[in-house]
Amino acid sequence: MGNVLLVEDNPNAVKKIVQYINKISSESAVVSFAEAGAALQYAKDNEVSLFILDIQLEDYKGTSLAKQLRQLPEYKYTPIIFETALAGEELSAYRDVKCYSFLVKPFDEEEFAAAFRDAMGLSSQMNQRARTIQVEQKQFILEYTVSDIAYVESFGKRLAVHINHRISGVKEDMISGYTLAGMLTLLDDPEFVQCHKSYIVNKRHIEKIDKPGRQIFLKGFAEPIPVGNKYQSALWGSL
């Protein structure tokens, strides 16, 4: 069922929610934090299948944490359940963060179980739909999760596929027999755009853009990616 990240600063509420989850699924690992900042760092370093966020936290609001999580490509659609005693926050949460469900304190075990089961079911379906591509290389086949590919770089008749996975980190594979145009066709994903005669980038991984300098910076990579004059209008217009 994957990791459940619970962000709640009330110890009694944490204990109750963990008990509820353990009754529903012994396979779900629950990790809890009282502060949003520590929870955000954990999410960056680990895979999380479901977030349960209290809106009123010790350091800053759970809705602010959720917005930060939504800015991370891997959590753009991950289910979020908010819990709070302030029912008036509900509309803002749904509109601004697109949370999956909302629990108003005090909630009972039946209410929690219904929201939890539905959210974990959605998370499971999303994980199963993570699209992959296969690249044939002589006597073996390389398989990549499309969303993990940060950019592809051309070196004549060879391509460098640069991967940034939130757990295993950054790596590079050299492949042959493919052109940038052929790789774009294989990827078949509107998030991938050609930004230079030698580069394809995944917009999900863009961290910063420098229009005057005609370059972009990707998360996890120190070196900037150049933006060619021929491609800049289309790229800036798509961001």
Residue 62: other Cβ atoms inside 10 A: 27
d(CA 86, CA 34): 18
Q: What is the pLDDT of residues 31-49, one digit of tens each?
A: 999 999 999 999 998 989 8
Percentage, residues of the chain above pLDDT 70: 88
Under 8 Å CB-to-CB from 46, ≥6 apart: which residues? 3, 31, 166, 167
pLDDT of residue 98: 67
Phi–psi pair at 207, nearest 5 degrees: -105, -35
Q: What tokens appear for 70 in the block? A: 């939504």
**Amino acid letter, residue 12:** N
Between the alpha carbon of residue 73 and those of residues 95, 139, 203, 206, the distances in Å are 19, 33, 9, 9
> Which pTM does this prediction carry?
0.54
H or E element in which residue 79 lies: none
* Residues with Cβ within 8 Å of residue 17, at least 6 apart in sequence: 6, 8, 30, 52, 112
Ranking 50-54, 124-128, 133-137, 228-232 by mean pLDDT, the lowest is 124-128
Q: Is the pLDDT of residue 193 over 70?
A: yes
CA dist list (Å): 20 to 14, 51, 177, 190: 10, 15, 53, 40
pLDDT at 42: 94
Task: Work out the pLDDT band at 90, boundaries 50, 70, 90.
Answer: low
Mean pLDDT across the stretch 207-212?
A: 92
**SS3 track for 139-205:** CEEEEEEHHHEEEEEEECCEEEEEEEECCCEEEEEEEECCCHHHHHHHHCCCCEEEEECCEEEEHHH
Alpha-carbon distance of 127 to 48, in angstroms, equals: 11
| Strand 149-155, strand 199-202: pairing | antiparallel
- Write the CB contacts of 160 (distance below 8 Å, at least 6 apart in sequence): 152, 153, 154, 172, 173, 174, 175
* Residue that wins the pLDDT comparison between 56 and 10: 10
Predicted confidence (pLDDT) per residue in 97-132, tens digit: 767 777 888 888 988 888 888 887 766 655 545 678
Rounded-to-integer distance, Cα 49 and Cα 43, Å: 10
Domains belonging to the chain, first-starting first, are: 3-128 (3.40.50.2300), 132-238 (2.40.50.1020)
Compute the distance between CA of residue 130 and CA of residue 10 in angstroms, rounded to an integer.
35
Order across the sheet with 80-84: list the strands.
29-33, 3-7, 50-54, 80-84, 101-104
Round to whole Å and give the CA distance between 45 and 63. 20
User: Mean pLDDT score of the chain, rounded to an integer?
Assistant: 86
| Cα 106-96-50 angle, rounded to 5 deg | 60
Chain mean position to CA 43: 9
